[in-house]
């Protein structure tokens, strides 16, 4: 039995993504490459090379000449050897470029202004200067090496700024003259949305070219809109019009469909910008873009499009492979116990829904005795089921029945951390009942998840699980994954009633 009484099925506007059970196409990886960001990185690499050449070369080693007149005490005194120049050149490059990348100098941006970017650029140069100076002092480098590193940073910063100015001017010229702009859909055909779209059209230097509006309840007559009012599926419109950016302006529609629109755009790899409420009071900040006087909050990109996601997948594969080898005796003993208690089959296979609504076969150690009728796809919980014997209860209580899912992780069906996978029938039911349940499938499902470490396992609130899962996706990082793994270990070792 479910713990919640299903409310009436919610009806969604027709412009929202309707075919959620289909594969979601994504933009080609090259379409996400920003030319200005690449040029700015190239400028810094070139400026760094100039700094390395122009800076005074430190000595390869610091040694004092030895003669017959050299006192014995001087011979016994150790002399610190300077690190080879190549080592400090690599350290300088890593610190200079790393600090600037961490400060998001190579980010996608709407405003191409050298003056707007200058304080951040100067701050990163000062930070790199300080870090390298401290490193030289701590490692006991000689004065010549320290001064060479410092000059490299200063020359690189000074040489790069005039070229950065030219890059920003070139970028604005390309946007105005060559129409190098992102095709943009504005969600919200009210006064703010129409004014913002007009501002984008008049100022192409911001890199946004509006191609249409989406609004279930437009406050203006569609004939009075400066661009087409798009109808039908939003995902189809994004693909058909080759849209790269979606701007969420004010709409008379309820908030939840607008959130759905943002998630649909994310799944397609689009940039999502939001006009905040009371935007007149917003100050500039790290995630605030500007189109003339309109502040736009840039939402973070979908987790699966970030380079750190590749690190997550590599760690998943390594951890799953190692765990399968190390835990093979444990899995074997569990399988033997099931075989003795209730016979074959030992491994239980069940269809589950994964990323982008694709189905896969999930593997578990069977904890329920086979019955005459297979109700595994329709029965929600086996709590209190007489078919669960002592071995099955032990396996479920300790979560040892989940260990074969390491094979799913190794295959790429699942991840170590992510929303827990569910059966297709329940996915359809919960998606029609609970807000944003369908949005959980933007990332691979996991062996453990944020909802599970907060006690939401078994017969618990589906709506609350969906909120935790969507929070996890919106705030994903490698650190959050590590935190969930640590909390999962704590749950297994010190599980208590909540």
Mean of pLDDT values over 141-170:
92
Mean of pLDDT values over 141-150:
87
Q: Which runs of consecutive H residues, i.e. helices, occur in 77-222?
A: 85-102, 114-138, 143-177, 191-202
Residue 205 and residue 45: Cα distance in Å, rounded? Answer: 26
Look at 236 and 388; give whichever has higher pLDDT: 236
What is the per-residue pLDDT for 134?
93
What is the per-residue pLDDT for 127?
95
pLDDT class of 63 with cuts at 50, 70, 90: very low
Q: Report the range out of 49-63, 123-137, 211-225, 334-348 with the highest average pLDDT.
A: 123-137
Burial class, 143, CB count within 10 angstroms (exposed 0-12 / middle 13-18 / buried 19+): exposed
Residue ranges of domains in the chain, CATH in brackets: 30-60+81-177 (no CATH), 181-299 (3.40.50.720), 307-493 (no CATH)
Residue 370 and residue 387: Cα distance in Å, rounded? Answer: 8
What is the per-residue pLDDT for 388?
74
What is the per-residue pLDDT for 392?
79
What is the per-residue pLDDT for 239?
87
Mean of pLDDT values over 56-76:
52
What is the per-residue pLDDT for 34?
81
Residue 464 and residue 221: Cα distance in Å, rounded? Answer: 39
Which segment of 2-11, 21-30, 322-331, 374-383 scores lowest on mean pLDDT?
Answer: 2-11
Which segment of 71-85, 94-108, 221-235, 417-431 scores lowest on mean pLDDT?
Answer: 71-85
Per-residue pLDDT for 331 more than 60?
yes
What is the per-residue pLDDT for 385?
64
Per-residue pLDDT for 280 more than 90?
no
What is the per-residue pLDDT for 128?
94
Mean of pLDDT values over 260-268:
81
Mean of pLDDT values over 472-488:
92
Q: Are 163 and 43 in contact (CB under 8 A)?
A: yes
Query: Percent of the chain having pLDDT more than 70?
Result: 82
Mean of pLDDT values over 203-208:
93
Per-residue pLDDT for 25 more than 70?
no
Backbone φ and ψ of 2, nearest 5°: -80, 155
What is the per-residue pLDDT for 6?
41
Residues 6+ apart with CB under 8 A from 442: 263, 266, 267, 302, 303, 304, 355, 356, 473
Q: Which two tokens stand for residue 102?
A: 């961490």
Which segment of 122-131, 162-171, 266-275 scores lowest on mean pLDDT?
Answer: 266-275
Per-residue pLDDT for 379 more than 80?
no
Residue with structure tokens 């196409």?
25
What is the per-residue pLDDT for 41?
94
pLDDT (tens digit per residue) in 413-450: 999 999 999 888 888 888 888 888 888 888 999 999 99
Per-residue pLDDT for 59 more than 80?
no
Per-residue pLDDT for 77 more than 50?
no
Residue 267 and residue 21: Cα distance in Å, rounded? Answer: 13
Per-residue pLDDT for 279 more than 90?
no
The average confidence (pLDDT) of the chain is: 82
Q: Which two tokens stand for residue 327?
A: 């835990």
What is the per-residue pLDDT for 456?
79
Q: How far is CA 235 from CA 22, 232, 259, 263, 462, in A?
A: 11, 9, 14, 10, 26
pLDDT class of 221 with cuts at 50, 70, 90: confident
Using alpha carbons only, what angle is made at residue 250 by residues 249 and 256, rounded to the nearest 5 degrees?
95
What is the per-residue pLDDT for 86?
82
Per-residue pLDDT for 20 more than 50?
no
Residue with structure tokens 């490059």?
93
pLDDT (tens digit per residue) in 175-184: 999 989 999 9
What is the per-residue pLDDT for 381?
58
Look at 32 and 48; give whichever has higher pLDDT: 48
pTM exceeds 0.75, yes or no: no
What is the per-residue pLDDT for 122?
94
Which segment of 62-71, 87-96, 235-244 scores lowest on mean pLDDT?
Answer: 62-71
Per-residue pLDDT for 8 more than 60?
no
Mean of pLDDT values over 356-370:
86
Per-residue pLDDT for 23 more than 60?
no
Residue 276 and residue 289: Cα distance in Å, rounded? Answer: 11
What is the per-residue pLDDT for 206?
93
């Amino acid at each position: 039995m479910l713990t919640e009484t299903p409310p009436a099925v919610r009806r969604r506007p027709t412009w929202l993504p309707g075919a959620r059970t289909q594969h979601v196409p994504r933009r080609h990886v090259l379409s996400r490459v920003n030319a200005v960001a690449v040029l700015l990185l190239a400028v810094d690499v070139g400026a760094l090379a100039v700094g390395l050449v122009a800076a005074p070369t430190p000595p390869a080693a610091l040694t004092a000449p030895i003669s017959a007149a050299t006192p014995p005490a001087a011979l016994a005194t150790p002399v610190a050897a300077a690190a080879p120049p190549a080592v400090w050149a690599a350290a300088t490059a890593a610190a200079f470029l790393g600090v600037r990348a961490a400060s998001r100098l190579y980010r996608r941006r709407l405003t191409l202004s050298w003056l707007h970017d200058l304080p951040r650029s100067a701050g990163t140069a000062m930070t790199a200067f300080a870090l390298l100076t401290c490193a030289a002092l701590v490692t006991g480098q000689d004065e010549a090496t320290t001064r060479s590193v410092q000059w490299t940073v200063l020359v690189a910063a000074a040489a790069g700024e005039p070229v950065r100015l030219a890059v920003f001017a070139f970028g604005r010229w390309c946007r105005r003259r060559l129409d190098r702009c992102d095709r943009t859909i504005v969600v919200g055909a009210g006064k703010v949305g129409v004014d913002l779209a007009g501002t984008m059209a008049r100022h192409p230097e911001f890199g946004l070219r509006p191609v249409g509006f989406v609004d279930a309840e437009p406050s203006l007559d569609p004939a009075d809109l400066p661009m087409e009012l798009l109808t039908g599926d939003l995902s189809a419109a994004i693909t058909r019009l080759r849209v790269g950016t979606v701007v969420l302006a004010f709409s008379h529609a309820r908030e939840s469909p607008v959130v759905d629109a943002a998630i649909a755009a994310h799944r397609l790899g689009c940039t999502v910008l939001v006009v905040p409420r009371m935007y007149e009071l917003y100050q500039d900040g790290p995630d605030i873009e500007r189109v003339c006087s309109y502040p736009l909050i840039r939402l973070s990109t979908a987790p699966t499009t970030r380079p750190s996601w590749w690190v997550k997948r590599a760690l998943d594969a390594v951890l799953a492979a190692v765990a399968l080898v190390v835990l093979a005796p444990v899995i074997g003993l569990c399988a033997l116990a099931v075989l003795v208690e209730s016979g074959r089959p030992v491994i239980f296979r069940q269809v589950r829904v994964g990323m982008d609504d694709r189905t896969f076969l999930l593997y578990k150690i069977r904890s329920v005795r086979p019955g005459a009728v297979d109700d595994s796809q329709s029965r929600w919980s086996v709590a209190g089921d007489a078919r669960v014997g002592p071995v099955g209860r032990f396996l479920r209580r300790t979560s040892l029945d989940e260990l074969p899912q390491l094979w799913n992780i190794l295959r790429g069906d699942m991840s170590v951390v992510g929303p827990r996978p569910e059966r297709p029938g329940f996915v359809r039911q919960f998606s029609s009942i609970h807000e944003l349940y369908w949005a959980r499938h933007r990332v691979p499902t996991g062996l453990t998840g944020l909802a599970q470490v907060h006690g939401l396992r078994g017969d618990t609130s589906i709506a609350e699980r969906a909120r935790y899962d969507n929070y996890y996706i919106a705030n994903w990082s490698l650190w959050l994954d590590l935190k969930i793994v640590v909390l999962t270990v704590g749950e297994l070792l010190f599980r208590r009633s909540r």
